[in-house]
Amino acid sequence: MMGKKRWVAGMAVGIAILAASGYGLEKDPMPKTSASFSSPLSFDVYAVMTWNREFDFLGRMHFLGRTPKDNPIQIPTCDFWFVKLPEVGKADMARVREEIRAKGIPGLCLPEATDAELVHLEGLTGLHILNLGGTQVTDAGIRKLQEAIPGLAVRNEKVILPKAPGREGRF
């Protein structure tokens, strides 16, 4: 069991180092931001407080809340924030696309995604980071999406997230 924990921690640190170095990002790094977020769609909302190589990546990621809810989720000043779509296969991806565009969502986690779901994200130039969480998306599907969104950083590794109450903590 210890080997698996070390592997996951090593992968997380690797992703943090790649992100901190700007690897895979052709756009300017996202500025620190503070905002509020609400949505009628089901999203788990996370903030990444720092990409600094000197700190533990996993300790700087925070679960902020789940939509929909009565009051907007307050997003603290952070390097970036993202949403996790908990049930990709059951989601209306056309609505997800419009929500990302309308709300300026900078990062998205799509566990269990397929190439068919990625097609709905094409042209979302405000999307900076996409994590596919170890899905079965093909390299061709990822390349096609990156051609449609220049500078999009795509990761396809499982990373442990802070657990959302009642939901699995991986993406």
Q: What are phi and psi of 70, to 5 degrees?
A: -65, -45
| pTM recorded for the entire structure | 0.70
Return the pLDDT at 158. 64
Measure the CA–CA gap between 91 and 94, rounded to whole angstroms: 9
Q: What is the largest CA-CA distance in the chain?
A: 43
Q: Side-chain half-sphere of 43: how many Cα atoms within 13 Å?
A: 28
The number of beta carbons lying within 10 Å of the beta carbon of residue 158 is 18
**Distances in Å between the alpha carbon of 113 and those of 40, 42, 83?**
21, 16, 14
Full DSSP string of 61-129: EEEEEEES-SSPEEEEEESEEEEE-S-GGGS-HHHHHHHHHHHT--EEE-TT--HHHHGGGTT-TT--E
Return the pLDDT at 165. 58
Return the pLDDT at 90. 74
Return the pLDDT at 113. 86
Measure the CA–CA gap between 30 and 150, rounded to whole angstroms: 15
CB 58 within 8 A of CB 12: yes
Return the pLDDT at 32. 57
Measure the CA–CA gap between 164 and 42, rounded to whole angstroms: 12
Q: Which residues pair with 46 in a beta bridge?
A: 63, 82
Q: Extract the tokens encoding 146.
A: 């990156």
Task: Pick out the chain residues at pLDDT < 50.
Answer: 1-18, 20-31, 52-59, 167-171
Return the pLDDT at 68. 94
Return the pLDDT at 170. 41
Residue 90 C-alpha from the chain's centroid: 18
Return the pLDDT at 112. 80
Q: What are phi and psi of 94, to 5 degrees?
A: -65, -40
Return the pLDDT at 28. 39
Return the pLDDT at 48. 83
